[in-house]
A and B are shown apart, each in its own frame.
Chain A
Amino acid sequence: MVMVNLILILLLGGVIAMLSERAGENIPRRVALVVIMLDLAYLLSELWGMPSLTQLQAPMPDDPSTWLMHFKAQWIPAFGISIELALDGISLLMVLLTLVLGAIAVSASWTDIAVKHGFFEANLLWTLAGVLGVFMALDLFLFFLFWEVMLIPMYFMIAIWGHENRGYAAMKFFIFTQASGLLMLVATLALVKVNHSATGQWSFSYFDLLNTPMPEQTAHWLMLGFFIAFVVKLPAFPFHTWLPDAHTQAPTAGSVILAGILLKTGAYGLIRFAVPLFPEAALDFSWTAMALGAAGVVYGAVLAFSQSDFKRLVAYSSVSHMGFVLLGVYAWNELALQGAVMQMVAHGFSTAALFMIAGSLQERLHTRDMREMGGLWQQMPRMGAVAMFFVLASLGLPGLGNFVAEFLVLLGLFQISPWITAVAALGLITGAIYSLILMQKSFQGEPNPKLQDHGLVDFAGREMLTMTVMMVALIGLGLYPQPVLDMAQPVLQSLLEMTSVEAMP
Chain B
Amino acid sequence: MLEITLFYIAATIALVATVLAMTRANAIHALIYLIVSLLAVAVIFFLIGAPFAAALEIVIYAGAIMVLFVFVIMMLNLGEEGDARERGLLQPSIWAGPTVLSLLLFAELLYMISTIEGPVSTQAVSAKEVGLALFGPYVLAVEIAAMLLLAGLVGSFHLGRRYLEREE
Query: In the complex, is A directly touching B at CB under 8 Å?
Result: no
List B residues at the A interface (Cβ < 8 Å): none
